[in-house]
Every structure is written in structure tokens, then in C-alpha cells.
Amino acid sequence: MTHEPLTVDADRFAADLAQLCEIGWEGERGLHRTAFSQPHLQAREWFLRRASAAGLETRVDGAGNHSALLPSGEPEARTLLLGSHLDSVPAGGRLDGALGVLGALEVVRTVKDAGLRLPVTLEAIDFTDEEGTVLGTMGSRALAGQLTPEMLASPRYGRDRLLAALAGAGLSEESLFAARRDPADIAGFLELHIEQGPVLEQAGVQLGIVTGIRGNASFDIEFVGAARHAGTTPMAARRDAGLGAASLILGLRELVMRDFPGCVANVGDLRLEPGAFNVVPERAVLKLECRSLDEDELRELAEAVLALAGREAERWGLELRTEAVGLWKPAPTHPRAREAIAHAARRLRLTATEMPSGAGHDAQVMARITTSGMVFVPSVDGISHHPHEWTSLPDCINGTNVLLGAAVELATTS
């Protein structure tokens, strides 16, 4: 290795990024590239064409995952996967997922062009349906053997949509299961991604080394009081469900900031019933989620949140109903992957900080079966899942160079 580390072709990367960002882009209406939509299929074809043009092998598996491969010269070599996803949320931004796929392609191209001989096969992969307009992390789950018949029986938007999406893409439930790969054949997984939050930008740091993907516990919560005439019922004689909800919203913030400083929580939805100017609310129905990087801490946080809701219900004379609606365990990244990323950043003289990922990613799935890591680049104003989502081109190039450096280190030390 020379004193100056290998870097990617910034001009080629920038030109390709500009092209990719156009596919499904509707200006202020955002990026419309949901899984299996025409713009999504178009982006995937574009990806394979760019891979072929670079002299790479291409492959589409039974889950629809699209790959560009640089085979190792060594026999029985394992595969180091690099990638993310080309699908978007509806009215989303241009870099969530796409940056990680293009960055992976650029890394594989660069290694090929440099004539580097690695002991692993390098594979840039575009996973199917990460965002979940059909099932959610469908492609990475299939590859990692993490799909179950139960998941396919009741996908979040219904089974009809799932079956229609699979059939339209020439896939099937059988082919999804057939896409599973043996973890023994995989050397690791690295994902470059935009942060989707304001931490890096506010700290003035160029890169995030993801320590893990936060687990997520979500609840439907309902406070029940008594509907009364708001003109005739004195303040002290009310059982106002809105007071329970309001106290929980404020108390939740205080609880997390004071007792769970590394965590986040959110009341994202709330409605009052019956919902009239002159009726004291009988019901307050909330959607609440909390997240932590640590499984024990997530459990403690969820317990503390429910205890808080119980205390507020008692304080205001309300009944409380809670229902757990989702639980995702935290997925720590691998120390060797984090070290490889840190080394690469240092060699490139880029500033980097360790941080958790609050959002879910394909890396969350892959971390269950192989040595996995994630690189974050700063999101302008912390915006994501929105037409204004963006990251500066220099930051995108920095992230791709770090992905390259980390991939080479992991490839040669795994």
C-alpha cells in the first residue's frame, strides 16, 4: 500500500450520481421510486448497465437483489458485500439508499481499475424493498435467511400487494427463500448511507462510524376519561383524557433526556375523541415509540415509559390501555468493521465520530449473520424522507473513499 491511500474516481462518481438522482425525481414532489415501481425498475437496470460497462459481472437473485461482482482470483473465496437499496419512500429524497448502492459500485470499479487482487469476491448489491412499501428489508432478509412464512402471510400492506409485486417482477415466495446464502460464504457487509439526522452537521464532523442500529419498541396507548359538557363541567371535576396525553408527551421527553440520554422516543400521532370544541375529551389515542442501541436499555426504557403513562393516568383519574405493536431488537455493528472504517477515515485525514443509527437499514439484518459495519455522511439540515434530503458532493465522495478503504482492510483481514 502506498503512503497516499487509494481513492475513487470522483468525476465518474459525480456524473453517475447526477444520472441516478434523475430517475423517479419529480422536483418539489420528491423522489418517487417505491419498490417495484417503473422508476425503481429503471434505476436497477441502469445500475446493471453501469456495472457491465465497467467490466463487472452482474447478477439478480431470487429476491430481486441486483449485484455487480468482481470475482476473486482465489479459489473458494468468500464474498464481501457492499451496498444498500435503490427503492425510496413515496415523495422521498434522492440519496437514502441510492448513495450506498452507487458508492459500492464505485468502490468495486475502483478496485478493478487499480488491479488490486483481493482474497475475497467483491459484490456491490442493491437490496430489494428496504423501505417497506411491500414488506420491508425484503431483499436483505431473504439473503440473510431472516424471512419467515409468518412475515409473508401478513405483510404490513397486505398479502395481495406482496403477491402482485412479486409476480410483476417475476419472483415468487419460493424464489425469495431460495435467495438465502450460507453465512459461511460471506466475509462481511459494509453500507454507506446518509445520516438522516442532524448530528454530524451540527458537530461539524465529516463521517459517522455507526455503532449499531437502535432497537425500536412501539405502542398504541389510550387514555380514557369521561366526555362532559365543557361549558358546564368545572375544571376540577373533569376526567379529561387530553391531560393524560399531554402529560405523557412532556414527561416522555424529560424521562429520555434525564434517564436515557443515548435514546430517543416519540409520540408521533394523537387524536382526541369525540373531538368537539365544547366536549371534554373522553379518549386520547396515541402512537408512541422508543429506541435504544442496547437490548437491556430498550427494555428498561419501554418499562419506564409504560410506568410513566400509568402514573399520569392515575394522576388525572383516567383509565389506561396499552398495546405493544412492534419490537425490533438493537443490532450492534461488528468491532472489526468499525475499526476498518475508523482506520480508513484516519488515512484520508477525515474527521469521524462513533454514533448510533436511529433508522433501520439493511445492515440491521446483515449484522445478524456476518461482520457488518455502516458509514454515515452528513445530512443537510438533518432532513430525510423528504424532497429536501441532501448531502454535499464532497461529503458523498468522502464517504465512498472511506467505504473503499474499509472494504480493502476488511477483505484482507477477514
| Residues at the interface with a second copy (CB under 8 A) | 195-199, 202, 214, 216, 218, 227-237, 240, 242-243, 245-247, 249-250, 253, 256-257, 264-272, 275-281, 287-289, 291, 326, 357-360, 382-386
- The C-alpha cell at 203 is 458537530
Q: Which residue lies nearer to a second copy by CB, 121 or 379? A: 379
Q: How far is the CB of 224 from a second copy (least distance, A)?
A: 15
Angle, to 10 degrees, between the axis of helix 38-53 and the axis of helix 10-22? Answer: 160
Distance CA(334)–CA(381), nearest Å, equals: 29
Q: How far is the CB of 382 from a second copy (least distance, A)?
A: 6
Helices (H), 316-392: 335-347, 362-366
Residue 356: CA count within 13 A, CB half-sphere: 18
Residue placing its CB nearer to a second copy in the complex, 307 or 325: 325
Q: Compare residues 40 and 228 and give the one whose CB is closer to a second copy.
A: 228
Shorter beta-carbon distance to a second copy: residue 218 or 372: 218
HEC profile of 73-138: CCCCCCEEEEEEECCCCCCECCCCCHHHHHHHHHHHHHHHHHCCCCCCEEEEEEECCCCCCCCCCH
Looking at residue 199, what DSSP letter applies? Answer: H
Q: Name which of 6 and 230 has its Cβ closer to a second copy.
A: 230
Integer Cα distance of 334 and 191 in angstroms: 13
- Eight-class DSSP state of 383: -
**Distance (Å, whole) CA 152 – CA 138:** 10
Joined together, the cell numbers standing for residue 273 give: 375523541
Least gap, CB of 66 to a second copy (angstroms)? 26
CB 242, min distance to a second copy, A: 5
| Shortest spacing between CB 12 and a second copy, in angstroms | 30
Nearer to a second copy, 3 or 229 (CB): 229
Are 290 and 263 contacting, i.e. CB atoms less than 8 angstroms apart? yes
Nearer to a second copy, 119 or 132 (CB): 132
Say how many Å lie between the first and final Cα of the chain, rounded: 18
Answer whether 258's CB lies under 8 Å from 314's CB: no
CB 385, min distance to a second copy, A = 6
Min CB(384)–a second copy separation in Å: 5
Closest CA to 61 of 4, 116, 133, 141: 141
| Eight-class DSSP state of 214 | P
